[in-house]
Structure 1
Amino acid sequence: MKLVMTLLVRDEADIVDAQIAYHLDAGVDFVVATDNRSEDATTEILERYAREGVLHLIREPGDDLRQSEWVTRMARLAAADFAADWVINADADEFWHAHGASLKELFGAVSGRFGAVRGAWRNFVPRPDDGRFFAERMTARLSAPSFHPHPLSTHFKSAHRARPDVRIGRGNHEALAHDLVALRGWYPIEILHFPVRSYEHCRRKYVTQFVALERNAEKGIPGHMAEAYEAYRADRLDDFYAPLVVDDATLEAGLADGTYSVDTRLRDRLRALGFGAPGGPSRVADAPRTPLEEAAQFAAEYTVLGETDLGSSFGARIDELEARLARLERSPAARVRRLVGSLRS
């Protein structure tokens, strides 16, 4: 079985090297990456993996962040040009981890009746920036998930059987084709998610993305992104970012009441791959859990995803119905009916 990952990036040099190395080590065979106007070292990192023969690089000059279109293009290439059997549509801040098996073992065990499998975000919170590698600092994970317009919202992402006619929904949450039946209610993949890593990353991510999305505004702009951009324009981005950062005292209290957990799995895996370096003892003690405790906590967290799943499912149908209605309204028959109605009035 061949597993291909797609990756859409812009200015992600602080994380993208580790992200690709992690997934190649975890069983991904090949990466199809789109670099959208990066100005940092992201392009050079992708070019290095391309020279090694494990990555196909697309340079996308568009300035309107047509994410769904660009990821769909990559997912179709994975099927048509790179012989993928399964495709993971990932972001640079995501690290996919299969529960109790390798990624390939997991996808290989999925019944042929189903064509899409979900992974659940597990969100790691920003910590005070002391200059260390993100995975060394960010070992605190939010353990009280909810679905709301916020950078640390709970959500799922979809991996799918490769199809040359697949369409990837916005945010990579859904993979759509006539025979891609999603296996709902089961989340065998944890997606270790680092959506905001520093103040500079916050500024770069939300300001750049908002400006790009404004050029494609009919697709909608997430509320937290608009909030961050408005704060930036008012010279108070600190007011948006500061409440997201979890300091030592807040973390201690959150560990006690179950709001946060300490999770060093990514840090330890990346250390083994040569990324990061121990920066001295953690100021907050790790709280190791047994595998059974971890599984129980994960199960409790992803129960809230039922709401997200329903919203995505019905939202896609509503979008389709609205598009069909708009086409009907533009049809010659509809124009004739409106003309006749105006003459009668």
Structure 2
Amino acid sequence: MLLKPLQYWKHRLTRRGPVRLAMTLLVRNEIDIIEDNIRFHAAQGVDCFAVMDNGSTDGTRELLEALKSEFDLHVIDQPAQNYQQALWMTQLADYARTKLKADLVISNDADEFWLPAEGTTLKDHLRSDDSVVTVHRRNMVLTEECLQPDYHYTDAGYAVKNPILYNSQTQISDNAVSMLLVKISPKTIVNPHGLIKMKGGNHRAKHGWRWVNAREESEITVYHYPIRNYEQFEANIINRLRLLRDTNARMGDHYRRWVNCYKEGRLKEEFSKFILSTSDLDTTNKIGITEPYAKAGALIKRSIK
């Protein structure tokens, strides 16, 4: 354990030049969004990418291979089906340290877009000696437009502002809950030099130097598009059902809820609860649960053209 803090200090004392920022992703069947994610973050200052593909069957793996000719992108195949997210993301961070020579690593998901303050890049808010940087994350909300055939997830124009604090049991079992409005955990940017391990969901990290200079960064916000249309939602839950057959699998309460909905034939009913009508939005905006926010989608569109 002592070697990790020493590793951090050796890097801090010997590094030269501008911050090299890497992004790591663990993906499976993300054909609709993975290219957008990489293009967007390259435009926001990410230098290189390490993507672990966990047995995609929808063309994601082939698309990643094609993107290697355009970006500093490394693809690692992980065929195991026992869903060791924390372990695999820790391994990816180590890969970014040793192979990509990264100073800092954003541990990301394909449906998350990291927006810096207007007129800046991600690097403008990071320091090479950071250990763990925690940033706020917000869900994007579905409206009735998502039912139109030409809808794209970047058309989402509302974000959760003040989430509803349902307790864990309510999130699993209460049929009235709209899960896009719940409180979600933050995300982290880590210094791979001194990193001990990433924790589940990439919401936290154990670091040998965290106690000295871990911090929060308010000028970076993660915008989350977890549900983009019904077909994508159903495919995701079928995959989660498969993963949860492993009784040791660690997964959020929302996925357990949705797997139960699928088993009971209620997944379309559950999807309908995500969609806020105009009158719903009038209420949620009025009481501060949601707010208009089209900037994230506009920036993504600009980056992927």
Q: TM-score under structure 1 normalisation?
A: 0.72
Q: Does 1:94 align with 2:125?
A: no
Q: Which fold has the larger relative contact order, with Cα–Cα distance below 8 Å and residues 6 or more apart in sequence?
A: 2
CA pair 104-185 structure 1, distance change in 2 beyond 3 A: closer
Contact 1:146–1:154, Cα closer than 8 Å, also in 2: no
Residues 4-153 of structure 1 aligned to structure 2 (within 5 Å): 4-99=22-117, 101-108=120-127, 112=129, 114-127=130-143, 128-148=146-166, 149=168, 151-152=179-180, 153=183
Unpaired segments ≥5 residues, structure 1? 276-345
- Counterparts of 1:132 and 1:252 in 2: how far apart (Å)? 24
Corresponding residue to 2:258 among 206, 228, 232: 228
- Higher mean C-alpha displacement, 40-49 vs 76-85: 40-49
Corresponding residue to 1:203 among 231, 234, 242: 234
Q: Does 1:159 align with 2:175?
A: no
Corresponding residue to 2:224 among 184, 187, 193: 193
* 1:129-172 superposed Cα distances (whole Å, 9 cap, x missing partner): 31335334312111222444554332111101122753110000
Q: How far has the Cα of 1:40 moved from its partner?
A: 1.2
Rg (Cα) greater in structure? 1
Corresponding residue to 1:173 among 196, 203, 227: 203
Q: How far has the Cα of 1:13 moved from its partner?
A: 1.3
* 1:232-267 superposed Cα distances (whole Å, 9 cap, x missing partner): 112121232211112233223333333221211122
Higher strand share: 2
Q: How far has the Cα of 1:10 moved from its partner?
A: 1.0
Partner residue of 1:273?
A: 303
- Counterparts of 1:164 and 1:123 in 2: how far apart (Å)? 31
Corresponding residue to 1:243 among 235, 255, 273: 273
Residues 315-334 of structure 1 aligned to structure 2 (within 5 Å): none
SS of equivalent to 1:7: strand
Amino acid paired to 1:74: L
SS of equivalent to 2:142: coil
Higher helix share: 1
SS of equivalent to 2:291: strand
- Counterparts of 2:20 and 2:88 in 1: how far apart (Å)? 21
- Counterparts of 1:187 and 1:219 in 2: how far apart (Å)? 32
Unpaired segments ≥5 residues, structure 2? 1-18, 172-178
- Counterparts of 2:266 and 2:147 in 1: how far apart (Å)? 19
Contact 1:158–1:174, Cα closer than 8 Å, also in 2: yes
- Counterparts of 2:244 and 2:206 in 1: how far apart (Å)? 23
Contact 1:68–1:171, Cα closer than 8 Å, also in 2: yes
SS of equivalent to 2:227: coil
Amino acid paired to 1:236: R
Q: How far has the Cα of 1:273 moved from its partner?
A: 2.5
* 1:83-122 superposed Cα distances (whole Å, 9 cap, x missing partner): 00010000011111123642111112x7x4x411111111
- Counterparts of 1:161 and 1:224 in 2: how far apart (Å)? 29
